[in-house]
Chain A
């Protein structure tokens, strides 16, 4: 296992390099530059433009800019935002907990409901319950996030008044950011009603962001369960007179979980991509909105740094998933 992890880490290095090239190339391929965006409709004085581009180091050839970027990166410096002049890492760390909190809640929602739906559908294969559950999963998978978010807000927030429209907490609470995780910070603050407010603000965005992963998990759980339920050892377990619940949960589910865990791991990427839209709809101050704003302002260091950090995260999660395989299924661990 240790060797396996080392090998995976070695593969990560060229992947990182590739990501830096890709992130750098993509943002520079978009027409316009930060100075043009800053000036907007104002008069653009050529001398002003020249000086600004020089100060930002954007007057140099692209390969030089890339090399400077790499040079900084090697020393652990992601650079400074061209707009706010704040270090990219500091901005990322301020906003990242919000995205993580939302993603964890979305994943919890997706995993709990997806697994439950998949198990129920597999056990009622071919019945109306199976069709309804799988039909709903397919609908969830095909749902445009933006539209789905607005529909839920209209229904639950505006018409029924059950949940807030957007944000992380009611603005009457001014919670100091200790960990950056609002649920934890509200508990630490001890302010009455703050935790409930933070939780109520999480419900809709977590459902919206978790809908697609939930559908994927439900479908994967169903097909994996169906496969396992046909196995001989399940028949044996039933023949031994075990209760149906014990057969499904203890014998079938554990083995059916291996592909499901893979899918859950892969959904991290989907969650972070979906977070961009979800954060925009729900005014959720996370890295998705931060990256979108930075792209529109051509804030090159932020976009490059942000993409690199997100990619790192996805790589790490995938590594973790690989390790988890071994924990769930000892055969895989021994094979490696």
Chain B
């Protein structure tokens, strides 16, 4: 009994003395959702990896304005292009310091060598560094950086020239993406000489607002504010700590208790409670994403326009948004979100009309309906928080017009591989914008080049549509491009390769003492310009 009493006394005493107070006033604790796979942004494709490296430690030649898709100068102060848009010259910022850490002390400031090294990694497989640390660059490959850059040359210490094989109107936007973060060539050289090339991925050196200090897998990542950051006034924190917390409910509880200041990806069911909590604020913004249902136009009877129109008309989007997004979503009309420039505002959705759907099916020769496979994603994504439920709602809607849908799913990697190969009749997928360029929506997901292995899940190759987007890709004048993309959206809406379902709302809960945070349209979490009251 005595022992028991003592045990509880010690336990309670320990607990009370250790009730955590948020650390020093200029320390921000971010309850991140997972451990990064590494700290070299070029190797990865997930936001979790980019938040921990690209958004903290690194800069890029150009960068997205915080909370926007607009590009602003980064490590390049300005840039110019040749008349044929194949040669791009970047004029670099002078005097930018790389981080000084226990494991690296730079002897020079940022210059053209660093840019050349960063991009040579993508295009030159025989680069000694690539031989020493062989890896893949999936995002660079996805954006065709590895194949489209013909050469990259240092003109002088502060001028770099890129030569492209074909015109890419989104080239500058692509350079603002996380994977294009600029490494220190001097650091890479040092690692190569020491036979530690892989350390580039574990102990990063960049020019960014936060200096990497330590990482304990599945526990925490620590950064110090970069007092010598080239953009004065952007670093308002002394320390930044990522408290890795994979479970969304636990993240919520930590935020409520004050063990962290800000968290990503709350459960929709928790939002109302957090909004009611006087210590918390929930910042909401329309997501730069789209959840959609693609019809495989190469499969019968989806090759008939009337059938696609009928399936589209039979879906009750409002019911889906209420049930699946729990109100945190906006019905989608176009194959891009309304915040994307070139969004065609004149287009209207076909609406929910089962009677008209039945008529169209009759006209198409399917008065008695037909059977169809409907693929539901096995994972949650920002654009689709519950694909299984969404599939069940669609199945019920289609049953009312006589269409029997068989819901199918696979492991996520397998799902994507099979869906890209054109196996399903209809498939639930989605997209979150990468770079704020319209081609990243229309070209990547609906272009003819994306059929069969690419992201064109509808396997839809329409010449009229494709001519418009291919032409737009070769132009740099935004007005001209907008005109072409608006026309392309009209073709899309007429041909119905997808039922566009919803753009989800991004909710970011935080403690009220957090100041200056902005929600990124790309789903990234950046802490420069953020302070603690």
A residues adjacent to B (C-beta < 8 A): 30-33, 35-46, 48, 51-52, 55, 83-86, 91, 94-95, 116, 150, 153-154, 156-158, 161-168, 170-172, 174, 177, 193, 196-197, 199-201, 203, 279-286, 289-290, 293, 297-298
Task: Judge whether A170 and B135 touch: CB under 8 Å.
Answer: no
Task: Judge whether A158 and B416 touch: CB under 8 Å.
Answer: no
Task: Judge whether B141 and A84 touch: CB under 8 Å.
Answer: no
Task: Judge whether A48 and B18 touch: CB under 8 Å.
Answer: no
Query: How many angstroms from the CA of A165 to the CA of B23 in the assembled complex?
Result: 16
Question: B506 in the interface, Cβ–Cβ < 8 Å?
Answer: no
Question: B453 in the interface, Cβ–Cβ < 8 Å?
Answer: yes
C-beta contact mask, B1-36 vs A, less than 8 Å → 1, else 0? 000100000011111111111011001010000110
Task: Judge whether B217 and A154 touch: CB under 8 Å.
Answer: no
Task: Judge whether A52 and B453 touch: CB under 8 Å.
Answer: no
Query: How many angstroms from the CA of A36 to the CA of B220 in the assembled complex?
Result: 27
Known: A45-B141, A158-B257, A200-B14. A171 touches B220 (CB 8 A): yes
- Residue B15 contacts which of A48, A162, A170 (CB distance < 8 angstroms)? A162
Query: How many angstroms from the CA of A264 to the CA of B146 in the assembled complex?
Result: 57
| Residues in chain B near residue A41, CB distance under 8 A | 416, 429, 431, 455
- Residue A172 contacts which of B24, B45, B247 (CB distance < 8 angstroms)? B24
Give 4 nearest A-B pairs by CB, closest first: A32-B413, A36-B413, A285-B218, A200-B18
- Residue A91 contacts which of B27, B217, B417 (CB distance < 8 angstroms)? B217
Task: Judge whether B246 and A289 touch: CB under 8 Å.
Answer: yes
Task: Judge whether B138 and A42 touch: CB under 8 Å.
Answer: yes
Q: Which one of B100-108, B248-256, B300-308, B468-476 contacts A?
A: B248-256
- Residue B18 contacts which of A84, A165, A170, A289 (CB distance < 8 angstroms)? A170
Task: Judge whether A44 and B453 touch: CB under 8 Å.
Answer: yes
Task: Judge whether A42 and B18 touch: CB under 8 Å.
Answer: no
A/B interface sample: 12 pairs, CB < 8 A: A31-B410, A33-B413, A37-B413, A45-B142, A48-B141, A51-B136, A55-B134, A86-B202, A116-B4, A166-B250, A283-B244, A285-B218
Task: Judge whether B138 and A31 touch: CB under 8 Å.
Answer: no
Task: Judge whether A174 and B222 touch: CB under 8 Å.
Answer: yes
Task: Judge whether A161 and B136 touch: CB under 8 Å.
Answer: no
Query: How many angstroms from the CA of A116 to the CA of B16 in the assembled complex?
Result: 27
Task: Judge whether A35 and B37 touch: CB under 8 Å.
Answer: no
Q: Smallest distance from the beta carbon of B504 to chain A beta carbons, Å?
A: 15
Q: Which residue of B lies closest to A36 (CB)?
A: B413
Which of B12, B243, B247, B256 has the most A CB atoms < 10 Å from its CB?
B247
Q: Which residue of B lies closest to A287 (CB)?
A: B218
Q: Which residue of B lies closest to A204 (CB)?
A: B15
Query: How many angstroms from the CA of A284 to the CA of B249 in the assembled complex?
Result: 15
Q: Smallest distance from the beta carbon of A71 to chain B beta carbons, Å?
A: 20
Task: Judge whether B15 and A95 touch: CB under 8 Å.
Answer: no
Q: Smallest distance from the beta carbon of B200 to chain A beta carbons, Å?
A: 10
Task: Judge whether B254 and A165 touch: CB under 8 Å.
Answer: yes
| Residues in chain B near residue A298, CB distance under 8 A | 413
B:132-190 near A, CB below 8 Å: 133-136, 138-139, 141-142
| Residues in chain B near residue A164, CB distance under 8 A | 18-20, 257, 259
Task: Judge whether A85 and B139 touch: CB under 8 Å.
Answer: no
Task: Judge whether B16 and A165 touch: CB under 8 Å.
Answer: no
Which of A84, A153, A168 has the most B CB atoms < 10 Å from its CB?
A84
Question: B485 in the interface, Cβ–Cβ < 8 Å?
Answer: no
| Residues in chain A near residue B453, CB distance under 8 A | 43-46
Question: B56 in the interface, Cβ–Cβ < 8 Å?
Answer: no
- Residue B243 contacts which of A95, A154, A171 (CB distance < 8 angstroms)? A171
Q: Which residue of A lies closest to B136 (CB)?
A: A52
Task: Judge whether B247 and A297 touch: CB under 8 Å.
Answer: no
- Residue A162 contacts which of B12, B136, B139, B259 (CB distance < 8 angstroms)? B12
Known: A32-B412, A285-B218. A84 touches B201 (CB 8 A): yes
Task: Judge whether B216 and A285 touch: CB under 8 Å.
Answer: yes
| Residues in chain A near residue B431, CB distance under 8 A | 41
| Residues in chain A near residue B84, CB distance under 8 A | none
Task: Judge whether A35 and B18 touch: CB under 8 Å.
Answer: no
| Residues in chain A near residue B87, CB distance under 8 A | none
Task: Judge whether A43 and B142 touch: CB under 8 Å.
Answer: yes
Which of B139, B214, B218 has the most A CB atoms < 10 Å from its CB?
B218
Known: A40-B46, A52-B136. A200 touches B15 (CB 8 A): yes
Query: How many angstroms from the CA of A162 to the CA of B46 in the assembled complex?
Result: 36
Question: B330 in the interface, Cβ–Cβ < 8 Å?
Answer: no
Known: A193-B17, A285-B217. A158 touches B250 (CB 8 A): no
Task: Judge whether B250 and A196 touch: CB under 8 Å.
Answer: no
Question: B436 in the interface, Cβ–Cβ < 8 Å?
Answer: no
Query: How many angstroms from the CA of A91 to the CA of B138 in the assembled complex?
Result: 24
Question: B491 in the interface, Cβ–Cβ < 8 Å?
Answer: no
Task: Judge whether B246 and A280 touch: CB under 8 Å.
Answer: yes
Question: B411 in the interface, Cβ–Cβ < 8 Å?
Answer: yes
Task: Judge whether B11 and A203 touch: CB under 8 Å.
Answer: yes
Task: Judge whether A36 and B414 touch: CB under 8 Å.
Answer: yes
Task: Judge whether B245 and A283 touch: CB under 8 Å.
Answer: yes
Task: Judge whether A196 and B18 touch: CB under 8 Å.
Answer: yes
Task: Judge whether B222 and A38 touch: CB under 8 Å.
Answer: no
| Residues in chain B near residue A51, CB distance under 8 A | 136
Task: Judge whether B219 and A167 touch: CB under 8 Å.
Answer: yes
Q: Which residue of B lies closest to A161 (CB)?
A: B19
Q: Smallest distance from the beta carbon of B234 to chain A beta carbons, Å?
A: 23
Q: Smallest distance from the beta carbon of B225 to chain A beta carbons, Å?
A: 15
Known: A83-B37, A84-B37, A153-B253. A38 touches B141 (CB 8 A): no
Question: B71 in the interface, Cβ–Cβ < 8 Å?
Answer: no
| Residues in chain B near residue A174, CB distance under 8 A | 214, 222
Query: How many angstroms from the CA of A245 to the CA of B12 in the assembled complex?
Result: 29
Task: Judge whether B416 and A199 touch: CB under 8 Å.
Answer: no
Question: B454 in the interface, Cβ–Cβ < 8 Å?
Answer: yes
B:291-309 near A, CB below 8 Å: none
With A283-B244, A285-B244 given, name 18 new contacts (CB 8 A): A36-B414, A37-B413, A40-B46, A42-B138, A43-B141, A43-B450, A85-B133, A154-B253, A167-B243, A168-B219, A196-B17, A196-B18, A197-B18, A197-B20, A203-B11, A281-B250, A283-B218, A284-B218
| Residues in chain A near residue B17, CB distance under 8 A | 193, 196-197, 200
| Residues in chain A near residue B138, CB distance under 8 A | 38-39, 42, 48
Task: Judge whether B253 and A162 touch: CB under 8 Å.
Answer: no
Q: Which residue of A lies closest to B244 (CB)?
A: A283
Known: A43-B142, A43-B450, A165-B259. A36 touches B416 (CB 8 A): yes
